[in-house]
Amino acid sequence: MADPVRIAVLATLDSKSEAAGHVCGSLRNAGAEPWLLDLSLRPHGKPGAAMTGGEVAAMAGRTWEALGELDRSAAARAMIAGGARALADAQAAGEISGAIGVGGANGCTVFCGMMRALPPMFPKVMVTPVAATAAVQWYVAESDIAMFPTISDIVMNRITRSIMENAAHAVAAMARSWEDQRARTGESPPLIGVSSFGNLQVAVDRITGQLQDAGYEVMHFHASGPGGKALENLASRRELAGAIDLTTSEVTDLLTGGVYSAGPDRLTGAATAGLPQVVAPGAIDHTNWWVGECPERFRDREFYQYNMEILLMRTNAEEMAALGAMFAERLNRSKAPFVVLVPSRGFSQHTIRRTHDLDGNEIGSWFQPETDRHFTDALRGKLSAGELNVMDVHINDPEFADACVAELRRLMDRN
C-alpha cells in the first residue's frame, strides 16, 4: 500500500481547536496524514500543533509574543508571511501534497493568503462561511483554492462536521491525484496565455485557433481583475511558455480607479520572468464602472453602457498618454524579447458605438484616433527595449490576430 499523502491543516487553535481536530481526524479516516499548523495571532497554551504559532511567527522574523502586541491586521500580515514560507518550503521539499484551512473571516484571510503562495494545481481547500459570500473572489484571487461553505459559522454540529469531513476527503483525493500527475512521464505542449474580453472575442478566437493548430495549448485570462492577476502569477512562475497579452484594459482601471483593476503588478510577470510576449492595447480605450457608481469627478466624460452591470467610460487623451508611459515603464524591465503591436484603427469593438453622457444624451463617436494616438506617441517616446509596430488595422481584423501569432512564434524561436 502506498504511503499516505501528507496534508497541511491550517487553523487557529486558540479559537478553532475542535474544528482543527475534526479535520485532522477526517483526514486520517481518508487515508491521509495531517500536518497541523497553528496560525493563532496571540500566544496560548493549547497543545496539538505540529508547528506552533511561535514557530510560524519566527519564519517571518517575529516572535509570537510580539504578534500579540500588534493590531489584528498587522499580526495577520506577519503570520501570512511566515505561514506562506512554511508552506512553500514544505511543498518544494515534497513534504506535503495538499493544504486545507478551516476558519471564519479572519482565518480565511490568513489561510488563503498563505495558500495563494502555493503553485497552481497544487491542492488547496478552504472551509469557511466566507465561501458563501460575494467576497470570495478576493480570497481566491489569482489562485485555484477550492472553497467549501460551512453554511453556519464554525460551530461544531452534525452539518458542519459533515462539511468538514467532505472537504477533508476531497483534499485527500486531490492530493493523491496530484502525486499521480507528478509521477507521470511525458511532455505537455507549451502553454500560451492570452488575455481576453468579450469585445475582442473575434481576435481571441482567431489567435487561439492558430496557436492550437501550431501545437500549443492556450489559456484565456478574462481581463476583469482576477484574470490579469492569474496571468501575471502563472507567467512569473514560468508555468506559461509565452503570452499574447491582447487585452490590457486592467491597466486603464488601475490608472483611473475602475472596478477591473488587476493591481500594480499588471504587465510585469512575463517581463520579469523572461518570457517572450506580444502586447497590445486591447480595450484600454475605456474604464469599467458598475452602473450607478461612476465617481462624480468623471460626470463630464463620455460613456457607453455595455450591459446592465457595466458602464464604460471613454479613455481621454491625458489618460492615453499616461497609459503609454505605464506600458513602457513595465515593459522596459523585460528580460526577454517582446513586441508591442498597436492597431491604429481602434483598440476595441466599441469603435462602432456612439458615446453618451450620464443622462443618456448622445455626444459623439467612440472611434477617436487622435485620442488614441497619445498612447502610441507616449509609448514610442519612453520605450527603450523590445519592438513597436503600429499597424493600419482594427484590433479585431484578421491581419492583427495573424500578426500577434506570427510575432510570438518568431520571438519564441529566438528565445
Query: Range with the lowest mean pLDDT among 135-144, 253-262, 388-397?
Result: 135-144
DSSP state of 390: E
Evaluate whether residue 399 is within a structural domain.
yes
Q: Is residue 251 part of a domain?
A: yes
- Where is pLDDT greater, at 181 or 47? 47
Last residue of a domain, one of 183, 212, 247: 183
Query: For residue 136, what pLDDT is reported?
Result: 87
Give, as one character, the DSSP assignment of residue 220.
E
Q: Quote the pTM value.
A: 0.81
Supply the CATH number for residue 74's domain.
3.40.50.12020
Distance of CA 84 to the CA centre of its chain: 17
pLDDT tens for 4-30 read 899 999 999 999 999 999 999 999 999
| pLDDT higher than threshold 60 for residue 340 | yes
Residue 222 in this model has a pLDDT that exceeds 70: yes
The answer for residues whose C-beta is within 8 angstroms of residue 43's C-beta and 6 or more apart is 53, 54, 64, 65, 68
Q: Are 34 and 167 in a shared domain?
A: yes
Cα–Cα distance measured from residue 34 to residue 24, given in angstroms and rounded to the nearest whole number: 5
Please report, for the domain that includes residue 256, its CATH number: 3.40.50.12030
User: Which pLDDT band, with edges at 50, 70 and 90, does 386 fall under?
Assistant: very high
**Residues 80 and 162 placed together within one structural domain of the fold:** yes
Mean pLDDT of all residues belonging to the chain: 94
Q: Can you give 280-323 as a three-state secondary structure string?
A: EEECCCEEEEECCCCCHHHCCCCEEECCCCEEEEECCHHHHHHH
Whether 324 and 281 have beta carbons less than 8 Å apart is answered as: no
Q: Residue 365 domain-assigned? A: yes
Domain-terminating residue out of 183, 214, 230? 183
- Three-class SS of residue 357? coil
pLDDT at position 3: 75
HSE-CB at 119 with a 13 A cutoff on CA atoms is 17
**What ranges make up the beta strands (E) of 326-397?**
338-343, 354-356, 362-365, 387-391
Domain shared by 148 and 115, yes or no: yes
Please tell me the predicted confidence (pLDDT) of residue 282: 98
Say if residue 300 is in the same domain as residue 407: yes
User: Rounded to whole angstroms, how far apart are CA atoms 351 and 339?
Assistant: 24
Which of 88, 92, 81, 89 has its CA nearest to residue 41? Answer: 81
Q: Could you tell me if 109 and 202 lie in one domain?
A: no
Query: What is d(CA 287, CA 297) in angstroms, rounded to the nearest whole number?
Result: 14
H-helix segments, 59-104: 64-68, 72-92
Contact partners, residue 26, CB within 8 Å, separation at least 6: 164, 165, 168, 169
- The burial of 188, by beta-carbon neighbours within 10 Å (0-12 exposed, 13-18 middle, 19 or more buried), is given as exposed
The 3-class SS string of 264-281 reads: CCCCCHHHHHCCCEEEEE
- CA 139 to CA 21: how far, in whole Å? 24
Instruction: Answer whether residue 215 is part of any domain.
Output: yes
Quote the pLDDT of residue 400.
98
Please give the helix or strand (H or E) that residue 397 lies within, else none.
none
pLDDT tens-digit series, residues 279-330: 999 999 999 999 999 999 999 999 999 998 999 999 999 999 999 999 999 9
pLDDT tens-digit series, residues 158-195? 999 999 999 999 999 999 999 888 777 567 899 999 99
41 in the same domain as 89 = yes
Classify residue 1: in a domain, yes or no.
Answer: no
- Tell me, yes or no, whether 158 and 296 share the same domain: no
Task: Give the full edge-to-edge strand order of the sheet including 146-149.
Answer: 33-38, 6-11, 98-102, 124-128, 146-149
Whether residues 131 and 234 fall in one domain: no
Could you give the 3-state DSSP secondary structure of residue 188? Answer: coil
Task: With cut-offs at 50, 70 and 90, classify the pLDDT of residue 152.
Answer: confident
- The last residue of one of the domains, among 183, 210, 242, is 183
For residues 43 and 10, state if they share a domain: yes
Number of domains the chain contains: 2
pLDDT of 1 above 60: no
84 and 142 part of one domain = yes
Give which of 231, 337, 218 is closest to 276, Cα–Cα: 337
Q: Confirm whether 150 is domain-assigned.
A: yes
Taking the alpha carbons at both ends of the chain, their separation in whole angstroms is: 45
Residues 370-383: tens digit of each pLDDT: 999 999 999 999 99
**Same domain for 126 and 65:** yes
Q: What is the pLDDT of residues 62-111, one digit of tens each?
A: 999 999 898 889 999 999 999 999 999 999 999 999 999 999 989 999 99
Residues in CB range of 330: below 8 A, 6 or more apart: 266, 267, 268, 271
Are 398 and 283 found together in one domain?
yes
128 lies in some domain? yes
What's the burial of 356, exposed, middle or buried (CB within 10 Å: 0-12/13-18/19+)? middle
The residue to which cell 488601475 is assigned:
254
Cβ atoms of 310 and 290 within 8 Å: the answer is yes
Range of 108's domain? 6-183
Question: Which residues touch 29 (CB under 8 Å, ≥6 apart)?
Answer: 165, 168, 169
User: How much is the pLDDT for 185?
Assistant: 56
